[in-house]
Structure 1
């Protein structure tokens, strides 16, 4: 099986690894750029699997540069700025503009 997995494309390898991890129903999922470079169908599948893990009670820590992905999957959003983690905000209280301010090291005034 190892020889066959080496023949997979980067995207298929990414899907295989995430599938193997989520199959075990972990209590915590750390996902760094889980959909980067994947096709739209694979992105939807991975988003669904991450949300299902959350719904089963798993903690899901998502690190992504894709702001749409962050807003679609997150309950709370925090930013790492100059090596420090900002306080997490409820995703429904943030806007793209407020998130941009956080990324620039400012506290978003319009987030409640």
Structure 2
């Protein structure tokens, strides 16, 4: 949990509605451990001790939400290993903490390419 998401409620979002514009660098052992956790058999990884794991559940992902012309767009820049674990496990809904964002704020992450995500 980050400072921006402290106190925000956890919501479920369809995984296919969350855009991840930056290609991830992945540790496949970590993803295997997360898939095992989603399947109810917690498995420790290099970054997570067994005693810190809740079987069947991964921590929520911070997701930026931009409202534009009556439509909501969701962007994630972290949680890459969790997304890979969800996809491998066939999970359709992702636990998220939604952070409101504007297009100009999103431009900090994406630069001039930000407009490509809004059908322009």
Bigger helix share:
1
Flag the structure with larger Rg: 1
TM-score (norm 2): 0.24
